[in-house]
Amino acid sequence: MPKSKQHGLTLIETLMVIAIIAGVIVFSTRLFVNARLNTNVTATISQIKQAVQAGYQWINEQPQTDFNGNANQISINKLINAHLLEAKNQYGPWPNSILTVSPDPDQPDHLRIALNNIPASACTNLRSRMQNSTIKQISAKACGKRGNAQYYGVF
């Protein structure tokens, strides 16, 4: 009696196809996450640049010589009210991340710009990219190792 040929895939072949598909999904997901992180960091750098420019434009319009005028201390709300920044610029691209502008406590003639509640990996990326930015950053601090971090730079 001749044996008939059976057509189809074996269990090993099916498992190999599933493993390859899983590998492609994992790789593409990682690329998507990294691309999104870089996009958010780029957007944040743009927000920081706008806030620095608005801050120095604001101080040029004030009778005081630094950002720490007792009755007229700089803040994000003052920049928005003076129409130097749009209201949407006070929120970062991450959930619950808020941009703040204040005088630096050590150098009142410089701005401190902070962004709270950002992922630690984004904070590290942001700090690194800001060091290579065209705006002069006097110093950059923060970036926790886990969970949400705070970035702040003095400009």
Q: What is the residue-level pLDDT of the chain in tens, covering all 155 positions? A: 566 677 777 889 999 999 999 999 999 999 998 899 999 999 999 999 999 999 889 888 887 767 776 667 888 998 999 999 999 989 999 988 999 998 888 888 888 888 888 888 888 888 888 887 777 766 666 676 666 788 888 88
Query: pTM value?
Result: 0.77
125 domain residue, yes or no:
yes
Rounded to whole angstroms, the Cα distance separating 23 from 81 reads 51
3 domain residue, yes or no:
no
Rounded to whole angstroms, the Cα distance separating 9 from 121 reads 44
Domain total of the chain: 1
| CATH number where 96 lies | 3.30.1690
40 domain residue, yes or no:
yes
Give the three-class secondary structure for 144: coil
4 domain residue, yes or no:
no
23 domain residue, yes or no:
yes
Domain that holds residue 144: 11-154
24 domain residue, yes or no:
yes
Rounded to whole angstroms, the Cα distance separating 39 from 136 reads 22
> Contact at 8 Å (CB) between 82 and 63?
no
